[in-house]
Every structure is written in C-alpha cells, then in structure tokens.
Amino acid sequence: MRKAPVFCAVIALLLALALGGLILPDRQVSALENRVLSAAPAFSFAGFADGRWTDALETYTADQLPLRDAFVSLYTAGEALLGKRASEGVIRGAYGRLFDRTDGWKERNVALNAAALNELSAQTGLPVRLLAVPSAASVYPEAVPAFAPMADEEQLLRTAKAQVSLIEIKSALLESRRADAPLFYKTDHHWTAAGARIGYLAVCEALGLTPLAEEALQDYPGFYGSFYARFPLPWMAGDVFEAPIEASLRMEVNGEEKDGFLDADAVRGRDKYAALFYGNHPVMELTNASAPEGTLLVIKDSYANALLPALSRHFRTIVAVDARYYTGNIVDLANERKGESILCVYGLSTLASGRTIALLDGL
C-alpha cells in the first residue's frame, strides 16, 4: 500500500508529459544542447514497413518531450555525482573546466590537410601560412584528469609543420596563462579574446605587420558553450564572453551587407560565440576602407572568428572561406581576388578530425 502514492505519482507524471506533448507546440532548437530538434516525421507505408518511420517517430518523441532540458541536466548531474567524468566526448576536468576527448584525432587528416595547403601555395604562387590553434587541454594540462584519452598534439603539429609554414603559438599561450584572463572558455572549445590576442600577435609577426593596441572589449556574461551542451552540469558557472566593441567594418555575406559583425540576437542567447560574424558561412568579405594593407584570403573554421576583427584593422579586404561549407574552386577564388598571401586559421581539432581542406575543389 505504501507504494501506491509513488505509483500514482509516476502515472500522473507520465500522463502530464504525454498531454503536454500533444498540447505544446514543437520546439525547433534546444538551447541547452545547441542543436536542431527533430520534426514530426511524415507517415508512409514504406517507411513503416522497413522501420524508418518508427525510428524517426522515436527520435521525434524524445526530442519533443516536455521538460526535456530539465531531464537532460538531471541525468547528467546524477552521472557526475556517481563519478562519471565523460559524456558525449567531453571530459570533466579540474577547476570547473571541460575538455574535448581528443584520442580520435587522426594524424593522417592533419597530413592531408597540410599537404592541400602546400598544393594551394604551389598552384597560386602565394605564400600560405597555417595557424593551428591547440586544444585547451594542451594549454591547461594540470586540469586534465589522469589517464584521460588525449591525442599527442605535439606530434600533430610536427606533422603539419612538415608540409606547410606553421605559425607556432602554443609556447606563447603557455607563457601567457593568468588566472584573471583565461585563454580558453571553460564551457566551450573556443579560445577567449585573450587567447585570440596571442594568435593575432603571432600572425602579425609572421606577416610582417605592426601589432595595434588591444581593442576595447564588451563583456557578455552567461555564456554556456559547446562543451556544456554535451555535458550540462547544473552547478557549473557560465563563462563571460568577450567581443570587441563595434569597429568600422563592413561585412558582406552572400551579397547581403550585415549591420556590424556581432549578431545582437545571438549574443543574448546561451551560445554567445556564435554571435561573432553571425556564425559560420561558406564565404564572407570584410572591408575596411581605412586599413593600410591590401587583400588577405583566410581559410578558416570558427576559431578564426575571434581573430578576424583585429586582422581587419590591417587589411582593406579580407575574404574568409570556411572550408567546411565552401563548394567553389578555392584556387580560382584565390586567383580572382589577387590577395598578397593566404592565412589558414584552424583549430587543431578541426584539422585532425576531418579532411575539409584536402577536399576543397581545386586541390
């Protein structure tokens, strides 16, 4: 008899969730998990017969479960309290830091991507330099749990250096660590404005530019990034996202001019890093009429977004190509834009996890 109230409560909860699922409108995006949620699958007899429709329905039901975010956080918290240190490829470290599990990174991918950059230099006659941003784990090794599955990032960098001119920054990052100015976010894989500043100084030295004074920054608290989306611990404090105060910069994406480089809507959300340059695009053009230099072609992933505002103060035109999404011929683009050099800014994670540069058309 004592179990009856518990049983009734469980039944009531299940009925409430089912009723909520019928009444409440479907959500398009989960802010907590930072992903698009499944939509209701269209029924077909063929899909029902081979199981595709029932699989899609199961995914849809799970994604649209009322209070899903609360249940995900509660489950993750329970796992952490039981001693689990990893979830969805994210490792829980010391000092409130989360890290990527990097043992799946492939040296072969680094070699192929670096060789493609070398080929790009050969076909265009332009110097190509690679800034490979290391992971937070290699910059804060004392916070990484013992025996955590991690890649040998030094070997990956040596592999890249054998193929392409490498702008080395890891030692500068290690020397610049300060408690009051973290170089990487704790809840996200990207580097902070302080980390990107070190990358900017290294790029200036490599390109023969005179570094400019550090830009004024605006703080945006409450940033919960990609790591938190995969390992949402309710007690974890958010980061403070920093972005340069608006610069005199014209930004064009797909022929459309944007109002500044910071998305005012995205910066109010949970994943604030996505506010930089309105996210990632196959190609975008930054124009600064008052800059002293000419044209720079940048092959990038999202790590470059924190670096481009500073670089835009040097170049009248920056053509930024995201190799993960660009489908045009990169050699033709480089020849058409007649830049003076090519800079690749890639996270070592992207460089080692896939072959996005090697697969660019023209290489």
Residue 21 pLDDT level (bands cut at 50, 70, 90): very low
Pairing mode, strands 293-300 and 315-322: parallel
pLDDT reading at 36 higher than 80: no
Q: Is there a contact between 160 and 114 (Cβ–Cβ < 8 Å)? A: yes
- pTM for the full predicted model: 0.81
Residue 233 pLDDT level (bands cut at 50, 70, 90): confident
Q: Is there a contact between 126 and 337 (Cβ–Cβ < 8 Å)? A: no
The DSSP bridge partners found for residue 295 are 317
Query: Tokens for 149?
Result: 């599955």
Q: From residue 152, how far is each of 103, 115, 147, 156, 184 by CA, in Å? A: 8, 20, 13, 7, 19
Cα(203)–Cα(13) distance, integer angstroms: 57
Residue 27 pLDDT level (bands cut at 50, 70, 90): low
Helix, strand, coil shares, percent, the chain, to 5 = 40, 20, 40
Q: What are phi and psi of 106, to 5 degrees?
A: -115, 130
Query: Tokens for 198?
Result: 């070190």
pLDDT at 14: 44
User: Could you give the 3-state DSSP secondary structure of residue 167?
Assistant: coil
Cα(257)–Cα(8) distance, integer angstroms: 58
